[in-house]
Amino acid sequence: MPCAVFGASGYSGVELIWLLHNHPDFDVRYSFSSSARTAEPVSQLYPQLTDRLDLILQPWHPDLLSELAGQVQVCFLALPHEISAELAPQLTAAGLTVFDLSGAFRLRDASIHQSAYGFALPLPDESIAYGLAEWTELSGTEALIAVPGCYPTAAALALLPVLPFISSTCTPVINAVSGVSGAGRKAAVHTSFCEVSLQAYGVGTHRHQPEIAQVLGRPVLFVPHLGNFKRGILETIYVELNDDVTAEQINTAFTDAYAHRPLIRMRACPPAISDVAGTPFCDIHWQRHGRQLVLCVAIDNLLKGAAAQAVQLANQYYGLPDTAGLNTIGGVI
């Protein structure tokens, strides 16, 4: 399947081209970047790819659209939100299928989207599929698939199976810690080596909070933290159950939801970030304490939270196994 990757020089973008390069059914024909290092192989930016992946980074220009539409069938966008919002409609209008890793198309409510991202919702929501891979059935006809955010992916995968058991008066509390790569590759003081520590940020204002609430259909309290490690997300989630919920019901709910989902791993003990870093897996553990349910969930923010989920969705879109091209462990950065 010939494809193109936009934003190939960023962290999620380079993970995408590495996964697709090793995929038995996808062929990366174009790797576009806004980096000043275009016309160089991607291995110049990521030396660990030397002699393993030497795709040339190319600058994008709208004049290339007709050529692109004649050469590829699918585009993966790992771009800033505003750029995806402008580019994705052009690509779909040219007949291309788009998997967008930005937040430009995730939120359905126009006013919430405007508040979260600072620009108007670029397309009518009925034209967009929200692609939480284990909970979305793609028909293979969608033109634009919005890949969920990293924090919402972890939260939704942990909470959706038990949603019917949560008290109607409960607001789920989600404490999350992400590695520095979640802030992207662009240099910033707060993510520099001597500055990064462990700190909450975006409390009550993070744009992933309304996305989580949208997926769950109920409000949540979401507190993200930036940790002093490269990659991975760990979330600890607290909810109150209805009076009559049993441990057996909870166990059955997770079994029914994920027994045949190879990228979800139910764990007997709380997962560590090191268990999932460099993998496409989501590891989930739960404990019940009376009416309180504690959920611990870990993913790699660049893989299950971004590039690997995009590939998983593309696999589903084209009728391939979820795990196709996702058997490589390690990641690029």
Catalytic (active-site) positions? 150
Is residue 94 within 8 A of residue 68, CB to CB? The reply is yes
For residue 171, the number of C-alpha atoms closer than 13 Å in the C-beta half-sphere is 8
Phi/psi for 7 (5° steps) reads 80, 35
Strand order from edge to edge, sheet including 292-299: 199-200, 221-226, 173-178, 233-240, 292-299, 282-289, 264-266
Cα–Cα–Cα angle for 202, 208, 213, nearest 5°? 120
Give the three-class secondary structure for 219. Answer: coil
Question: How far apart are the C-alpha atoms of 12 and 186, rounded to whole Å?
Answer: 12
Measured CA to CA, the distance from residue 277 to residue 300 in angstroms comes to 5
How many angstroms separate the first and last alpha carbons of the chain? 26
Q: Do residues 178 and 198 lie in contact, with contact meaning Cβ atoms separated by under 8 Å?
A: no
Nearest to 317, CA basis, from 156, 150, 133, 101? 133
Cβ 155 vs Cβ 174: under 8 Å: yes
Q: Cα–Cα distance between 225 and 234 in angstroms, integer?
A: 10
Distances (CA, A) of 106 to 103, 152, 162, 207: 5, 11, 23, 10
| Residue 212 CB neighbours (<10 A) | 26
CA dihedral 108, 113, 119, 123 (to 10 degrees): 0
